[in-house]
């Protein structure tokens, strides 16, 4: 039997294999993030001059009630959008996992198709649906115009932001759910149905507990990018729909306050690390209970 490669005996091969991706990671991710982290402890000395002084004033400012309120609103938006994605995405993923192989491939392409289109184009397409003269109002007016239908004002509202967030991030929920549901032991589902449990009870008693790792992964993979979204609130929302990412964008581009923008950005990073740590703790707890 052919033995596996022992990378400890060929460090040159291991370095050649890991060198390019590790170099890419360091140059285009680790170093820029380290610079932004250093900026978060700095102060503006001029238009383009930032002095790294080791101050925590930017983080103290980020904890002011104004910015904590915006962060709380962002967390609420992200939590609600993630919940809606779960409610919509779970039946979709379940249907894909039980589809025929040919239909399964087509459905997966349909889920991944939005990734092939620029996010800005997709957002403007949503604007074409939601605006006062959009396709939704035109269709409703044509169907119910005889009853005195008045056009719905959906744009520049929290509703439009929520629709945009769900529309953009739904695939992030469907794909990990499908990966978990497709690996389920179908014999357990068949046994539940044979023993008299209905489809609804089988889903809640068998499918959901077994798919819990995929559900947790989908929640995390959806919540994190939703929390950092700024395009949907910027184009679809109103003055009271701005999220924390919009504040960060303004600090870097309009206010030219890079240290404070960096501190706000790393506040989001810290929340991301907390979410990943909670998921890891939940995974270890499930492994301990199973053992």
HSE, side-chain direction, 13 A CA sphere, residue 274 = 7
pLDDT of residue 1: 41
pLDDT of residue 6: 60
Q: What would the two tokens of residue 69 be?
A: 């309120």
Domain extent at residue 206: 76-242
Could you tell me the pTM of the whole model? 0.85
Three-state secondary-structure class, residue 234: helix
pLDDT of residue 84: 96
- Give a yes or no: residue 260 inside a domain: no
Query: DSSP letter at 4?
Result: P
Q: Percentage of residues in the chain with pLDDT exceeding 70? A: 94
- Give a yes or no: residue 228 inside a domain: yes
- Give a yes or no: residue 290 inside a domain: no
CATH number at residue 105: 1.10.3720.10
- Give a yes or no: residue 95 inside a domain: yes
Give the count of domains, the chain.
1
**Helix intervals (H) in the chain:** 11-25, 31-39, 57-62, 65-97, 101-112, 119-130, 135-144, 158-181, 186-194, 199-202, 208-210, 212-227, 231-236, 244-253, 258-290
Mutual angle of helices 65-97 and 101-112, in 10-degree steps: 160
- Give a yes or no: residue 204 inside a domain: yes
Cα angle for residues 160, 163, 169 (degrees, 5° grid): 135
- Give a yes or no: residue 130 inside a domain: yes
The answer to whether 136 touches 129, Cβ cutoff 8 Å, is yes
Q: Mean pLDDT across the stretch 126-150? A: 83
- Give a yes or no: residue 119 inside a domain: yes
pLDDT at 144 over 60: yes
pLDDT at 98 over 70: yes
Q: Percentage of residues in the chain with pLDDT exceeding 90? A: 35
- Give a yes or no: residue 263 inside a domain: no
């Amino acid at each position: 039997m052919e033995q596996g490669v022992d990378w400890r005996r060929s460090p040159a091969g291991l370095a050649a294999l890991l060198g390019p991706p590790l170099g890419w990671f360091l140059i285009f991710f680790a170093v820029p993030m380290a610079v932004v982290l250093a900026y978060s402890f700095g102060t503006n000395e001029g238009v383009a001059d930032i002095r790294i002084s080791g101050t925590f004033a930017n983080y103290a400012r980020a904890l002011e009630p104004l910015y904590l309120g915006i962060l709380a609103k962002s967390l609420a938006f992200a939590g609600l959008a993630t919940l809606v994605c779960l409610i919509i995405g779970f039946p979709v993923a379940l249907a894909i996992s039980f589809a025929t192989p040919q239909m399964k491939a087509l459905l997966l392409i349909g889920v991944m198709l939005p990734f092939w289109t620029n996010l800005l184009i997709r957002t403007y397409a949503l604007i074409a649906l939601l605006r006062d003269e959009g396709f939704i109002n035109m269709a409703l007016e044509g169907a119910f115009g005889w009853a005195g239908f008045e056009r719905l004002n959906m744009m520049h509202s929290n509703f439009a932001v929520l629709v945009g967030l769900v529309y953009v991030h739904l695939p992030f929920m469907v794909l990990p759910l499908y990966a978990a549901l497709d690996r389920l032991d179908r014999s357990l589902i068949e046994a539940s149905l044979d023993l008299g449990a209905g489809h609804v009870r089988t889903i809640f008693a068998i499918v959901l507990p077994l798919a819990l790792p995929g559900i947790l992964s989908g929640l995390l993979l959806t919540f994190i990018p939703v929390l950092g979204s700024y395009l949907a609130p910027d184009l679809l929302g109103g003055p009271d729909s701005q999220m924390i990412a919009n504040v960060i964008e303004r600090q870097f581009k309009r206010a030219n306050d890079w240290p404070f923008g960096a501190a706000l950005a790393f506040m989001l990073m810290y929340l991301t690390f907390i979410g990943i740590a909670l998921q890891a703790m939940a995974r270890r707890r499930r492994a301990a209970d199973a053992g």
